[in-house]
C-alpha cells in the first residue's frame, strides 16, 4: 500500500519515490518538518521545508484514501457481494468520491421511496422492466396486494419506478459520467433572496458563470452569502446531456418494449431531478469550496511568511506611537533590545488639539531616551499623527525619522493574557504602543504573540475551517521561526513555542527556568527541564542559539549531534577562534573539499557543507537580504494625489484579484491583477510579495469613497522598468 501511495505522490510532485519514502519514515518517527529539512538532508535528498510540508499533507491524504478503500472493501465483503469486477474497480478508484460511488448501492440507507418499494417486494418487477422484455401493466397485476397498500397497477409501477430511480442514482458509472459533464458544462447560478435588503451581495443578485471558470475568491464570497442566508445557489444547463448519458446506459436500443422504455425514461428523469442533481450540486460546490479554501490558505501562508520575515531594524531606540482621537495617542519608548523605558499619552489630534503639550512631551522623550526612530501605527488618527510628527521633525530639525507600521492585531495582543503577563501595570493602549515599537525592531518576535488571523494579510480567513486554518498558519510560523533561529536567553515563551518540537508548556518551562536559574550557558542545559527529554532536544536544539556563548558552536546553527564532527573539521582545517565567523577568512566550501571531509569522517556531504557555511557566518538570518522598512521625514496627503502620478509604494496585502499598496496616504490603493504585469499571470503571488516596494501609477481617485486605483504595469511602462 505504501509503495502505491509513494508512486502516486511522485507522479504528482516530480519528487523521487525514495525521497518520499525516506521522508515518510522520518515523519512516522515523530520528526518535525524544520528538523528534517535542516538536519536530515542526506535522507531526503535536500527537500525544502515547503516540499516536505506538501509531502506530509499528501501522505496523510492518501493514507486516508487507502484506509477508506480497505473499509469499503470490508463493508461490502461482509454482505458477501464483492465480485472480481467490483474488486478491480475498488482497487482502481483514485478518490474517496469514487470509492463512495461504488459503495453507495451497498450502504445502509434511511427510509426512502425505493426502500419502501423493496419492502413491498417490487424489486423483481423493477429488474424485469430494466430488461425491457415484459408488458409492465400485465406483470404489475401479479403484485397487487391490499395489505401492502398496492391497490392498483399505478401503485405497483410507481414503486418499481422508485427502485429504478434509486438504482440509477447509485450507479457509479452514471455518477462518474455526470460529474465529468457537470464539471465541464454546468453553470453556477446565484440569486439574492428577494426579502433581503442588505446590499453587500448585490454583485451576485443575478449572477451566473460556468462552473469550470469561477474564481476562488468568488466562491468564497458566494459561500459567505449562502451561510448568511442571503444567496441561493443552483447548478444549471446540463439536463438534456445528463439524460442522454443515463439513457445510453439504461435504455436498450433494440428489443426494449416501448412501455418499459417509457417507465425507464420517466424514472431516469425523476432520478436526475430528485436524487442525482441535488447530490452532485452539493458535492461539486463542496469541491469548489475546498479548492477555494486551499487557494486562500496558500495566499494566506505566502502573505504571512513575507510579513513575518520583514527585516528587523536593529540597534535603534524606538518610540512606538498608537494613534487615537478622543482617548489620545499612546507613546512607548523602548530600548535597542525592546525593553520598555517609558510610556506617555499626548493629544495632538481632535477633539483636544493639544499640539503644544504633545510637542513638549515628545521632545522630552526623544531627548531623554535618545530616540532615533518613531513607529506610527496605521490605525485611526494615523494620518493626523503622521502630519504632527512630520511637522515637528521639520520645525525642530530633529535627527529622527519615522515609518508607518501595520498595527493589525495590536489590539488583539494588548488585550491578551500574554500582554497582561508582560505588562501588568499598563493599559491596553500602552501595550499596543509597545507592540508597535517592537514590530519595527523585530517583526517576527512580536507578531508570533498574535493570532495570525488578526495580522491582516488573509483572504476570507474568517470563512476558513478553523482547525485547517490554524494548522496551516502554525506551520508557516514554525517555518519562519526556525529559518531565523531563536536566542535562547532572550526569546519569549510565545516565540519559543514555535521552535521545532517545543509546545506551549515546554516553552513556559524554558522561560521559567531562565528566570529562576539565570541565563543558559549551554544548549545541553535544556535537558534539565521537566518535560524536555532527548526526543524534544533533538528536534529543537539546532534552532536555539546562544549568541553570547564563548563556544562558537553554541552560537551557530550546527546541531549538538554534529559537534564532534564540527570540532574534527576545525582541527583538520587549522581554524582558530578568530577565523570562525569570518567569511573573509574562510572561503565558500568547494565540492572537492566537501567530498574530502565527508569521506574522511563518514559524514553526509550536505551536513559537511552546512557546517562549513556555519564556520563562515553562524546562524545567518535570512531576513538580511530583504528590503528594510522605508523611513520618512515628510508626509503625503490624499489631496496631494492626482491621476497619472507615479510614486513608490509598499505591498500590504495580496488577494486573488490584486494587491493593496500603501503609497503613504493611509488609504491603500488597489492594483487589479490585470494591472500588475504586462503579461498574463495566474495570481498576484506569481510576481509580488508582502512588504515588497513597487512603483505604481495612479489611475483614478475616488475621494468620496477613499478609493485609489493603481497600476504597476503602466508605471513600469512609463519609467522603462521591467
- Domains delineated in the chain: 2-106 (1.10.10.650), 113-186+237-300 (1.10.3500.10), 318-477 (3.30.420.140), 513-625 (1.10.150.310), 638-719 (2.40.50.140)
Count of C-beta atoms within a 10 Å radius of residue 566: 21
Beta bridge partners of 711: 697
What pLDDT, on the 0 to 100 scale, is given for residue 10?
A: 96
Averages of pLDDT over each 10 residues, the chain, 722 residues: 90 96 97 97 96 96 94 91 90 92 89 95 96 92 94 96 96 94 94 79 88 92 90 90 94 82 95 95 94 90 90 94 95 96 96 96 97 93 91 93 89 92 94 96 94 81 83 93 95 96 96 95 96 97 95 96 97 92 86 95 96 86 73 67 87 91 84 94 91 90 87 79 47
Beta bridge partners of 345: 330
Distance of alpha carbon 180 from alpha carbon 581, whole angstroms = 60
Contact 552, 577 (CB under 8 A): yes
Distance of alpha carbon 592 from alpha carbon 571, whole angstroms = 18
What pLDDT, on the 0 to 100 scale, is given for residue 583?
A: 86
User: Could you tell me which of 63, 73, 90 has the C-alpha nearest to residue 6?
Assistant: 63
What pLDDT, on the 0 to 100 scale, is given for residue 404?
A: 87
What pLDDT, on the 0 to 100 scale, is given for residue 631?
A: 72
What pLDDT, on the 0 to 100 scale, is given for residue 623?
A: 81
Q: At what angle do helices 49-77 and 84-92 cross, to 10 degrees?
A: 160
What pLDDT, on the 0 to 100 scale, is given for residue 319?
A: 98
User: Per residue, what are the HEC states of 353-383?
Assistant: CCHHHHHHHHHHHHHHHCCCEEEEECCCCHH
Cα→Cα distances 421→127, 415, 440, 451, 502, Å? 73, 10, 21, 17, 20
Measured distance between the N- and C-terminal CA atoms of the chain, rounded to whole angstroms: 50
Count of C-beta atoms within a 10 Å radius of residue 195: 6
Which residues lie closer than 8 Å to 298 by C-beta, 6 or more apart? Answer: 685
Helix%, strand%, coil% for the chain, nearest 5:
55, 10, 35
What pLDDT, on the 0 to 100 scale, is given for residue 722?
A: 43
Distance of alpha carbon 484 from alpha carbon 559, whole angstroms = 15
Global pTM value: 0.83
Amino acid at each position: 500500500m505504501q509503495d502505491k501511495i509513494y508512486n502516486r505522490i511522485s507522479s504528482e510532485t516530480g519528487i523521487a519515490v525514495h525521497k518520499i519514502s525516506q521522508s515518510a519514515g522520518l515523519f512516522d518517527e515523530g520528526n518535525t518538518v524544520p528538523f528534517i529539512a535542516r538536519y536530515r538532508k542526506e535522507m531526503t535528498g535536500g527537500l525544502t521545508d515547503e516540499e516536505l510540508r506538501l509531502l506530509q499533507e499528501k501522505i496523510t491524504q492518501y493514507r486516508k484514501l487507502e484506509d477508506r478503500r480497505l473499509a469499503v472493501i470490508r463493508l461490502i465483503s461482509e454482505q458477501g457481494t464483492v465480485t472480481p469486477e467490483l474488486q478491480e474497480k475498488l482497487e482502481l478508484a483514485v478518490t474517496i468520491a469514487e470509492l463512495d460511488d461504488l459503495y453507495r448501492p451497498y450502504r445502509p440507507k434511511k427510509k426512502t421511496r425505493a426502500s419502501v418499494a423493496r419492502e413491498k417486494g417490487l424489486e423483481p418487477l423493477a429488474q424485469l422492466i430494466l430488461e425491457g422484455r415484459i408488458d409492465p401493466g400485465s406483470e404489475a397485476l401479479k403484485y397487487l396486494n391490499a395489505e401492502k397498500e398496492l391497490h392498483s397497477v399505478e401503485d405497483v409501477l410507481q414503486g418499481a419506478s422508485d427502485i429504478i430511480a434509486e438504482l440509477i442514482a447509485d450507479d457509479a458509472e452514471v455518477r462518474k459520467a455526470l460529474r465529468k459533464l457537470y464539471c465541464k458544462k454546468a453553470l453556477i447560478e446565484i440569486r439574492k433572496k428577494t426579502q433581503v435588503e442588505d446590499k453587500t451581495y448585490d454583485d451576485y443578485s443575478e449572477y451566473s458563470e460556468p462552473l469550470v471558470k469561477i474564481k476562488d475568491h468568488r466562491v468564497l464570497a458566494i459561500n459567505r452569502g449562502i451561510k448568511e442566508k442571503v444567496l441561493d445557489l443552483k447548478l444549471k444547463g446540463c439536463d438534456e446531456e445528463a439524460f442522454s448519458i443515463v439513457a445510453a446506459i439504461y435504455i436498450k436500443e433494440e428489443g426494449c418494449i416501448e412501455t418499459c422504455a417509457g417507465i425507464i425514461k420517466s424514472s431516469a428523469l425523476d432520478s436526475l431531478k430528485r436524487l442525482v442533481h441535488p447530490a452532485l450540486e452539493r458535492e461539486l460546490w463542496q469541491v469548489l469550496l475546498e479548492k477555494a479554501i486551499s487557494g486562500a490558505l496558500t495566499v494566506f501562508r505566502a502573505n504571512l511568511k513575507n510579513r513575518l520575515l520583514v527585516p528587523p531594524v536593529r540597534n535603534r531606540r524606538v518610540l512606538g506611537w498608537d494613534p487615537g482621537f478622543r482617548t489620545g495617542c499612546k507613546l512607548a519608548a523602548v530600548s535597542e533590545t525592546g525593553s520598555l523605558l517609558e510610556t506617555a499619552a499626548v493629544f495632538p489630534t481632535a477633539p483636544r488639539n493639544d499640539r503644544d503639550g504633545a510637542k513638549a512631551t515628545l521632545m522630552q522623550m526623544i531627548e531623554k531616551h535618545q530616540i532615533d526612530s518613531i513607529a506610527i501605527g496605521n490605525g485611526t488618527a494615523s494620518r493626523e499623527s503622521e502630519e504632527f510628527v512630520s511637522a515637528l521633525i521639520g520645525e525642530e530639525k530633529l535627527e529622527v525619522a519615522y515609518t508607518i507600521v501595520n498595527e493589525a492585531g495590536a489590539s488583539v495582543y494588548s488585550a491578551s493574557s500574554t500582554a497582561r503577563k508582560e505588562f501588568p501595570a499598563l493599559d491596553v493602549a500602552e501595550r499596543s504602543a509597545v507592540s508597535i515599537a517592537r514590530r519595527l525592531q523585530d517583526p517576527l518576535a512580536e507578531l508570533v504573540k498574535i493570532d495570525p488571523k488578526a495580522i491582516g494579510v488573509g483572504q476570507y480567513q474568517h470563512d476558513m475551517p478553523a482547525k485547517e486554518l490554524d494548522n496551516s498558519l502554525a506551520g508557516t510560523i514554525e517555518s519562519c521561526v526556525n529559518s531565523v533561529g531563536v536566542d535562547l536567553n532572550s526569546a519569549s515563551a510565545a516565540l519559543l513555542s514555535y521552535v521545532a518540537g517545543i509546545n506551549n508548556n515546554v516553552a513556559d518551562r524554558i522561560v521559567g527556568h531562565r528566570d529562576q536559574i539565570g541565563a543558559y550557558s549551554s544548549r545541553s542545559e535544556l535537558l534539565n527541564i521537566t518535560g524536555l527529554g532527548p526526543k524534544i532536544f533533538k528536534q529543537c536544539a539546532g534552532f536555539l542559539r546562544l549568541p553570547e556563548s564563548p563556544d562558537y558552536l553554541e552560537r551557530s546553527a550546527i546541531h549538538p549531534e554534529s559537534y564532534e564532527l564540527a570540532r574534527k573539521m576545525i582541527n583538520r582545517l587549522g581554524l582558530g577562534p578568530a577565523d570562525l565567523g569570518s567569511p573573509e577568512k574562510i572561503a565558500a566550501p568547494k565540492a572537492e573539499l566537501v567530498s574530502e571531509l565527508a569521506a574522511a569522517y563518514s559524514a553526509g556531504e550536505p551536513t559537511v557543507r552546512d557546517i562549513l557555511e556555519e564556520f563562515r557566518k553562524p546562524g545567518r538570518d535570512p531576513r538580511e537580504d530583504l528590503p528594510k522598512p522605508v523611513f520618512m521625514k515628510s508626509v503625503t496627503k490624499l489631496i496631494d494625489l492626482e491621476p497619472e502620478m507615479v510614486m513608490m509604494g509598499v505591498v500590504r496585502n495580496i488577494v486573488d484579484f490584486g494587491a493593496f499598496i500603501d503609497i503613504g496616504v493611509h488609504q491603500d490603493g488597489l492594483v487589479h491583477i490585470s494591472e500588475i504585469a504586462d503579461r498574463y499571470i495566474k495570481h498576484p503571488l506569481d510576481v509580488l510579495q508582502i512588504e515588497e516596494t513597487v512603483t505604481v501609477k495612479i489611475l483614478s481617485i475616488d475621494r468620496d469613497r477613499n478609493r485609489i486605483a493603481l497600476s504597476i504595469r503602466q508605471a513600469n511602462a512609463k519609467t522603462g522598468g521591467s
